[in-house]
């Protein structure tokens, strides 16, 4: 079992690191290469390089290496944009796709040293955040050539050829305000999920049609959906009363998203839970965090949780990286 470092990306306090399961914390100062009050929207670990993580910020993309204990700026067109999402291709981790605000998609085939903007058109205005943003981009788990992008606010976009051509998918969506997208291999075929401001949606026909899946919850606002790193049928869904909200819950499914149960995070949440981090090197270890910085850990695959002493300000991203 590998030792794992937890990385927390904040909106205004850069990236914090914990090497003891969230008990103590370190934030490298600006001389490490990343301004210590940066806004960090996305984190992405390297599947084959222990100790490496990319940070998408309000001033471009930075790479951290534990062996060097420093951040390296990867200059390019993203320097003038906010990088909201990052994805690495599983078959070739040097292939990276970044989603931005204003909404755009960029691809690098050389580990972030050079970038090309992908030919996809998004909406230009958003009533909530002024400029739409790509809140998540993922490589399809079964096909490295297929990409999925969720846009706030402009529905779901799919590419079958690595990003050269795109199709906008919104049939059946109650809202085009997409926060998260997940692809799940269920026994009866693949299921796609989309978390939105007005509820969780699912598709059984590769995103061509979507159905609202009403949750047994006081709120339908959903922020992120992710499969457990264990590779089994577990899914986790963050749910609350808005952004940032004043309360919320973490939901867990053990039947590929058919039903959901509240994991009963201890105490009173101060805002909507935002994201979940796990890693296949220790699939029983999970972390979740609220939008306003309360941090929780599970050591048994999500069956029970404890609240950690450390609290942050506004949090946008979590990542677990081996070292």
Confidence (pLDDT) at 231:
66
In the chain, what percentage of residues exceed pLDDT 70? 99
Structure tokens belonging to residue 245:
């909200």
Confidence (pLDDT) at 128:
72
Confidence (pLDDT) at 179:
97
φ/ψ (deg, to 5) at 78: -75, -10
Structure tokens belonging to residue 81:
């944009």
Burial of 151 (0-12, 13-18, 19+ CB in 10 A): buried
pLDDT digits (tens, 9 = 90+) for 40-71: 999 999 988 999 999 999 999 999 999 999 99
Confidence (pLDDT) at 187:
85
pLDDT digits (tens, 9 = 90+) for 300-320: 999 999 999 999 999 999 999
In CATH, what class is 4-322?
A: mainly beta
CB count in 10 Å sphere of residue 205: 12
Taking the domains of the chain in order of start, what are their residue ranges?
Answer: 4-322
Q: How many residues does the chain have?
A: 323
pLDDT digits (tens, 9 = 90+) for 262-311: 999 999 999 999 999 999 999 999 999 999 999 999 999 999 999 999 99
pLDDT digits (tens, 9 = 90+) for 92-125: 999 999 999 999 999 999 999 999 999 999 988 7
Model-level pTM? 0.95
pLDDT digits (tens, 9 = 90+) for 182-191: 999 888 889 9
Confidence (pLDDT) at 218:
96
Based on its alpha-carbon atoms, the radius of gyration of the chain, rounded to whole angstroms, reads: 18
Cα–Cα distance, 19 to 69 (Å, whole number): 13
């Amino acid at each position: 079992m590998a030792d794992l470092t937890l990385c927390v990306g904040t909106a205004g306090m850069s990236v914090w690191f914990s090497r003891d399961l969230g008990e103590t914390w370190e934030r490298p100062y600006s001389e490490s290469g990343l301004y210590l009050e940066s806004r960090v929207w996305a984190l992405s670990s390297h599947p084959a390089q222990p100790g490496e993580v990319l940070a998408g910020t309000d001033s471009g993309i930075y790479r951290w290496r534990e062996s060097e204990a420093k951040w390296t700026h990867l200059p390019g067109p993203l320097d003038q944009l906010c990088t909201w999402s990052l994805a690495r291709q599983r078959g070739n981790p040097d292939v990276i796709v970044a989603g931005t605000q204003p909404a755009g998609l960029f691809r690098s085939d050389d580990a972030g040293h050079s970038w090309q903007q992908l030919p996809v058109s998004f909406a230009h205005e958003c009533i909530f955040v002024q400029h739409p943003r790509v809140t998540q981009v993922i490589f399809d788990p079964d096909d490295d050539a297929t990409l999925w992008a969720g846009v706030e606010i402009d529905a779901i976009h799919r590419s079958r050829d690595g990003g050269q051509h795109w199709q906008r998918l919104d049939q059946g969506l109650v809202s085009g305000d997409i926060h998260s997208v997940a692809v799940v291999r269920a026994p009866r075929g693949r299921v796609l999920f989309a978390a939105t401001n007005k509820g969780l949606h699912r598709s059984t026909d590769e995103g061509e049609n979507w159905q609202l899946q009403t949750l047994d919850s006081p709120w339908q606002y959903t922020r992120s959906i992710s499969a457990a790193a264990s590779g089994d049928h577990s899914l986790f869904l963050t749910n609350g009363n808005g952004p940032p909200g004043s309360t919320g819950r973490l939901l867990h499914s053990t039947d590929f998203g058919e039903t959901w149960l509240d994991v009963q995070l201890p105490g009173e949440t101060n805002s909507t839970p935002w994201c979940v981090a796990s890693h296949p090197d220790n699939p029983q270890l999970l972390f979740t965090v609220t939008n306003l910085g309360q941090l929780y850990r599970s050591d048994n695959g999500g069956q029970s949780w404890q609240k950690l002493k450390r609290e942050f300000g506004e949090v946008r991203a979590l990542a677990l990286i081996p070292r």
